């Protein structure tokens, strides 16, 4: 048997050993000479790092020249295809027979271990060299492992073809951008102070160092006290609170400090430092980590960010440190966040018009804030690239760097295009779906599963909950497109649009004790008197709930904050209040067990209906509490533990504002007219949703809620009823239980004949309320007029609304009158919306509300 030692020259290895090593370095086990292109081949990475001279040492690896260039890798690849020989075998044949000092097995093992090619290195040391405990060659290997991450192979002397223009990247990028986020230039002494002199103990153990090691340095937690007299530290605290408007229990502000490594050659450290600082000075987006400040002392660079307390996406997917698993709905949101960040990056251009490419999109570089909003980080590798759509020039790089298992094949040839980031994003989607790392312990790439006909449903991360089938199918298909050929990959803007179609505001089942806590144990004192009670309806009381940030808060709270923030157009961290509607058991029982049973059904109906619809003028259900949902009425139900949670509409209902409840300011005629258009827009949406007519059955001013900008949202969906498929103009039907508010109901609705036209009648009543400022009462009157099938007489407009244009009032009144016509003559909501839009656009064009 052939004896192999560290001194054995590579050219003398048996063919069987060369083939085995080749398979270990091709993570799919499929060679290109079979005509199949693998997603990633480590032999190329190894070839790119081979130093020009032997032996392999840390100095040669970090500072020495490279032996091979891009064209050499391409030559090996082409020869492999032509001859049908594994490419790594050809590489060993070429490398092993060249140079004054021939490479040996020990050189190959050290190079593989330095490049984290653990499986191949283990095969050499354990199977070939028979080491039970492989020597670490501590002096050499430790230096390599610590410093090689900062090394980029230098492919130079590119041949330039006549057909293609190659642009070699420059060290710095001038981005065309007007930025408002001016970072603080901090002193090294201040950085040392807030990091406790870069305390190397883990932050969990009382030190300041965050777990894990970054590509170019370590991350420390900086603690900024609230009572500091240092002017610059005070500025840092204020700037940090802009992105994290909450305080920790000790009333401090915490930041993250990334300390770049110092190497023998400080030029490289300076380059990476300048690249990241210059990029983040000019890039400002909700899904990109903001730059707070920086310092550089000539040897070490420090970059300061807001502290992302939920760590990186890869960390959370592993659910380490007893972190709650990320639910599927949060994962979809994170994917959406990253796509939006990429869309922004790729939309930015340098001064010469070149697009930007991140080059290191991966789950470890996606950070999560306190509400699990995703932020793309690590911009040290950001470069200008060619435009995938224009493709007039092809940008090549002298330094094809990144993280191997996230890099497309063309990246190893030095091509820099936005499609590089899209490929990496495809790997991230698979990580989110499966919870698996990008490369497993057997060195198989996660991206390889997208091409081998695997069933993604068998690989889903079950800890994320019950994945909806359409979500899985769409995301997996999107991932496969991202991982496909370069020309067929979608652009980031397309990805954002496709993911947005998936995002549904699924209400969250919440814990009753949590809702008690948010409402101060359902404090029945009115909010105007310092309590939490907002108002009281027929079968429930509405309370204000607060969502002040607390460390260690439950996942349900985080989900609630995210949903509410999205609905209200806020950052999650800016949200602190919700509305909690608590059903009252006593009120239901006072009306008998049959009504209690009905209320249970309406509760379930509201959850189902509000989960179905998504429109800017429909109230969104954020969550519910139903520990014992029993719509049969057989078992006793604790109504006090049945709650519905909504975004807080700070301007109350339209009814409240029309009567200036609690001395609120009257609504102007311009605002009222806009509100009418928004209400009919929502009604039209319901009546045409999914080619069905969903009838609200309780349109009234009390069910039209107003947010902080007086944007109208229709609420109360317990009575919604679906019609037949394909019917959009009206649904004939009868019911034994005509439900609704009588004054707003048409004659046929009172008789039990329901159709979409009944909502149009109700909207006519709302128009008159808006005009008159008087709420419809139980005697069938709105102010001085009687609503009947014969129409209505003209009313006096509300003087509190300002100087109404007379013709506008007349147009609105006539529209209301038409809405009161017989069922057959009454217009559809689509027709009313069209007519009202014309009225509003004519009278309010250019008018600020």
Q: What is the pLDDT of residue 149?
A: 40
| pTM attached to this predicted model | 0.61
Q: Other CB atoms closer than 10 Å to residue 710's CB: what's the count?
A: 19
* pLDDT band of 582, cuts 50, 70, 90: confident
Q: How far apart are CA 490 and CA 477, in angstroms?
A: 12
| Mean pLDDT, residues 70-83 taken together | 73
Residue 826 has pLDDT above 90, yes or no: yes
**Phi, psi values for residue 100, rounded to 5°:** -70, -45
Q: What is the pLDDT of residue 540?
A: 79
| Mean pLDDT, residues 441-446 taken together | 75
Q: 235: which 2 tokens?
A: 């500025």
Q: How far apart are CA 25 and CA 17, in angstroms?
A: 12
| CA triple 811-677-670, angle to 5 deg | 70
Higher pLDDT, 520 or 151: 520
Residue 172 has pLDDT above 80, yes or no: no
Residue 632 has pLDDT above 50, yes or no: no
34-43, 362-371, 787-796: which has the highest mean pLDDT?
Answer: 362-371
124-128, 343-347, 617-621: which has the highest mean pLDDT?
Answer: 343-347
The length of the chain, given as a count of residues:
849
122-131, 444-453, 565-574, 776-785: which has the highest mean pLDDT?
Answer: 122-131
Q: Lowest-pLDDT range, 356-360, 374-378, 506-510, 838-842?
A: 506-510
Closest CA relative to residue 18, chosen from 70, 85, 103: 85
Q: How far apart are CA 811 and CA 675, in angstroms?
A: 16
Q: How far apart are CA 403 and CA 180, in angstroms?
A: 32
| Mean pLDDT, residues 69-81 taken together | 74
Instruction: Tell me if 830 sits within 8 A of 687, measured CB to CB.
Output: yes
Average pLDDT, rounded, for the chain: 76
Q: What is the pLDDT of residue 262?
A: 55
Residue 639 has pLDDT above 70, yes or no: no
Using a pLDDT cut of 70, give the percent of the chain over it: 73
Q: 454: which 2 tokens?
A: 């695997």
Complete domains list, the chain, with CATH: 10-150 (1.10.533.10), 184-306 (3.30.200.20), 313-500 (1.10.510.10), 512-648 (3.30.200.20), 649-849 (1.10.510.10)
Q: What is the pLDDT of residue 787?
A: 46
- Kindly report the three-state secondary structure assignment for every residue of 657-706: HHCCHHHCCCCCHHHHHHHHHHHHHHHHHHHCHHHCCEECCCCCHHHEEE
Q: What is the pLDDT of residue 164?
A: 24
* pLDDT band of 556, cuts 50, 70, 90: low
Q: What is the pLDDT of residue 714?
A: 93
* pLDDT band of 431, cuts 50, 70, 90: very high
* pLDDT band of 361, cuts 50, 70, 90: very high
Q: What is the pLDDT of residue 788?
A: 44
pLDDT tens, position by position, 747-769: 888 888 888 999 999 999 999 99
| CA triple 520-524-528, angle to 5 deg | 95
Q: Lowest-pLDDT range, 154-168, 522-536, 622-636?
A: 154-168
Omega of the bond leading into 55 within 30 degrees of 0 (cis)? yes
Residue 709 burial (10 A CB sphere; 0-12, 13-18, 19+): exposed
- For the chain, the helix, strand and coil percentages under 3-state DSSP, each to the nearest 5: 45, 15, 45
> Buried (b) or exposed (e) across 524-537, using 16+ Cβ within 10 A?
eeeeeeebbbbbee
Q: What is the pLDDT of residue 478?
A: 94
Residue 498 has pLDDT above 80, yes or no: yes
Q: What is the pLDDT of residue 271?
A: 73
* pLDDT band of 678, cuts 50, 70, 90: very high
Q: How far apart are CA 744 and CA 458, in angstroms?
A: 53
Q: How far apart are CA 129 and CA 808, in angstroms?
A: 92
Q: Other CB atoms closer than 10 Å to residue 835's CB: what's the count?
A: 16
| Mean pLDDT, residues 136-151 taken together | 41
Q: What is the pLDDT of residue 634?
A: 39
Q: What is the pLDDT of residue 102?
A: 82
Q: How far apart are CA 558 and CA 560, in angstroms?
A: 5
Residue 122 has pLDDT above 60, yes or no: yes
| Mean pLDDT, residues 667-677 taken together | 93
DSSP codes of every residue in 498-519:
HHHTT---PPEE--HHHHHHHT
Q: How far apart are CA 108 and CA 56, in angstroms?
A: 8
Higher pLDDT, 498 or 565: 498
| CA triple 820-821-827, angle to 5 deg | 95
Helix and strand tally (H, E) in the chain? Answer: 27, 23
For the chain, state the CA radius of gyration: 33
- Kindly report the three-state secondary structure assignment for every residue of 770-810: HHHCCCCECCCEECCEECECCECCCCCCCHHHCCCCHHHHH
pLDDT tens, position by position, 382-416: 877 655 443 333 444 444 455 778 888 777 767 78
Residue 732 has pLDDT above 60, yes or no: no
User: What CA dihedral angle connects 358, 360, 362 and 367, to 10 degrees?
Assistant: -60
Q: How far apart are CA 594 and CA 598, in angstroms?
A: 6
* pLDDT band of 220, cuts 50, 70, 90: very high
Residue 276 has pLDDT above 50, yes or no: yes
Q: How far apart are CA 378 and CA 375, in angstroms?
A: 10
Give the distance from CA 644 to its chain's centroid. 25
| Mean pLDDT, residues 42-70 taken together | 78
Residue 23 has pLDDT above 50, yes or no: yes
Using a pLDDT cut of 90, give the percent of the chain over it: 22
pLDDT tens, position by position, 773-796: 988 875 544 444 444 444 445 678
| CA triple 825-827-832, angle to 5 deg | 155
Residue 129 has pLDDT above 60, yes or no: yes
**CA distances, 44 to each of 38, 153, 412, 437, 618 (Å):** 12, 11, 8, 22, 55
121-125, 163-167, 734-738: which has the highest mean pLDDT?
Answer: 121-125
Q: What is the pLDDT of residue 594?
A: 62
Higher pLDDT, 686 or 29: 686
Place of tokens 């340095």: 217
**Terminal CA-CA length for the chain:** 89
Q: Other CB atoms closer than 10 Å to residue 820's CB: what's the count?
A: 22
Q: 457: which 2 tokens?
A: 């449903």
Q: Lowest-pLDDT range, 162-171, 444-453, 817-826?
A: 162-171
| Mean pLDDT, residues 277-302 taken together | 85
Q: How far apart are CA 333 and CA 337, in angstroms?
A: 6
Q: How far apart are CA 408 and CA 509, in angstroms?
A: 41
* pLDDT band of 662, cuts 50, 70, 90: confident
Q: How far apart are CA 172 and CA 272, in angstroms?
A: 10
């Amino acid at each position: 048997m052939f004896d192999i030692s560290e001194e054995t020259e590579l050219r003398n290895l048996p063919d069987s050993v060369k083939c085995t090593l080749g398979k270990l370095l091709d993570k799919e086990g499929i060679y290109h000479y079979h005509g199949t292109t693998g997603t990633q081949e480590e032999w190329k990475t190894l070839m790119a790092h081979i130093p020009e001279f032997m032996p392999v040492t840390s100095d040669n690896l970090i500072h020495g020249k490279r032996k091979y260039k891009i064209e050499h890798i391409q030559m090996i690849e082409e020869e492999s295809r032509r001859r049908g020989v594994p490419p790594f075998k050809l590489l060993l044949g070429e490398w092993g027979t060249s140079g004054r000092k021939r490479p040996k097995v020990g050189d190959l093992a050290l190079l593989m271990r330095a490049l984290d090619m653990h499986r191949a290195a283990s095969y050499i040391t354990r199977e070939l060299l028979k080491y039970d405990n492989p020597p670490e060659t501590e002096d050499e290997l430790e230096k390599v492992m610590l410093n090689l991450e900062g090394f980029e192979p230098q492919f130079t002397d590119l041949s330039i073809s006549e057909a293609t223009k190659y642009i070699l990247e420059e060290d710095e990028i001038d981005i065309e951008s007007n930025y408002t986020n001016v970072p603080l230039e901090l002193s090294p002494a201040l950085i040392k102070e807030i990091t406790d002199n870069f305390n190397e103990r883990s932050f969990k153990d009382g030190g300041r160092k965050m777990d894990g090691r970054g590509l170019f340095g370590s991350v420390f937690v900086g603690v900024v006290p609230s009572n500091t007299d240092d002017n610059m530290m005070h500025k840092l605290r204020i700037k940090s609170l802009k992105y994290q408007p909450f305080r920790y229990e000790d009333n401090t502000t915490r930041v993250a400090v990334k300390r770049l490594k110092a190497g023998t050659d400080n030029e490289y450290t300076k380059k990476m430092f300048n690249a990241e600082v210059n990029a983040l000075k000019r890039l400002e987006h909700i899904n990109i980590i903001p730059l707070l400040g920086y310092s550089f002392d000539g040897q070490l660079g420090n970059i300061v960010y807001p502290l992302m307390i939920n760590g990186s996406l890869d960390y959370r997917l592993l659910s380490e440190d007893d972190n709650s698993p990320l639910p599927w709905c949060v994962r979809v949101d994170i994917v959406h966040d990253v796509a939006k960040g990429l869309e922004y990056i790729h939309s930015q251009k340098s001064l010469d018009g070149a697009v930007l490419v991140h080059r290191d999109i991966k789950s470890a570089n996606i950070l999560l804030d306190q509400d699990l909003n995703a932020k793309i980080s690590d911009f040290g590798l950001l470069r200008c690239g060619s435009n995938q759509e224009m493709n007039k020039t092809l940008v090549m790089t002298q330094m094809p760097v990144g993280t191997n298992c996230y890099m497309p094949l063309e990246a190893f040839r030095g091509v820099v295009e936005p499609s590089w980031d899209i490929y990496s994003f495809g790997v991230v989607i698979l990580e989110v779906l499966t919870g698996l790392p990008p490369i497993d312990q057997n060195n198989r790439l996660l991206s390889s599963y997208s091409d081998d006909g695997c069933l993604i449903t068998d690989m889903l991360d079950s800890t994320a909950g019950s994945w909806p089938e359409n979500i899985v199918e769409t995301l997996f298909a999107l991932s496969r497109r991202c991982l496909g050929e370069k020309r067929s990959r979608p652009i980031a803007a397309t990805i954002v649009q496709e993911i947005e179609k998936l995002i549904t505001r699924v209400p969250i089942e919440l814990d009753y004790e949590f809702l008690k806590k948010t409402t101060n144990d359902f404090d029945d004192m009115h909010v105007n008197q310092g309590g939490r009670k907002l108002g009281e309806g027929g079968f429930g009381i509405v309370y204000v709930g607060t969502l002040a940030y607390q460390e260690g808060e439950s996942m349900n709270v985080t989900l609630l904050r995210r949903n509410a923030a999205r609905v209200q157009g806020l950052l999650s961290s800016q949200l602190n209040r919700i509305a909690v509607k608590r059903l009252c058991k006593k009120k239901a029982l006072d009306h008998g067990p049959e009504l209690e049973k009905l209320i249970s059904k309406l509760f379930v109906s509201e959850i189902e209906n509000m989960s179905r619809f998504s429109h800017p003028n429909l109230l969104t259900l954020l969550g519910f509490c139903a520990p014992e949902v029993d719509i049969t009425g057989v078992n006793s139900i604790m109504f006090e533990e049945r709650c519905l949670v909504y975004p807080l509409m700070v301007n109350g209902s339209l009814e409240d504002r029309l009567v200036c409840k609690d001395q609120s300011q009257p609504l102007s005629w311009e605002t009222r007219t806009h509100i009418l258009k928004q209400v009919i827009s929502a009604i039209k949406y319901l009546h045409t949703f999914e080619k069905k007519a969903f009838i609200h059955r309780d349109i009234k001013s009390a069910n039209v809620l107003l947010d902080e900008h007086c944007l109208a949202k229709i609420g109360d969906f317990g009575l919604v009823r679906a019609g037949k498929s394909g019917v959009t103009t009206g649904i004939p039907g009868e019911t034994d239980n005509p439900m609704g508010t009588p004054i707003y109901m048409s004659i046929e609705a009172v008789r039990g004949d329901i159709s979409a036209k009944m909502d149009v009648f109700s909207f006519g009543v709302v128009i008159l309320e808006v005009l008159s400022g008087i709420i419809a009462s139980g005697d069938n009157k709105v102010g001085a007029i009687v609503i009947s099938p014969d129409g209505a007489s003209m009313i006096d407009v509300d003087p509190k609304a300002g100087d109404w244009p007379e013709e506008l009032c007349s147009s609105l009144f006539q529209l209301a009158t038409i809405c009161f016509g017989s069922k057959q003559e009454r217009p559809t909501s689509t027709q009313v919306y069209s007519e009202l839009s014309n009225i509003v656009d004519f009278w309010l064009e250019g008018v600020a509300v």
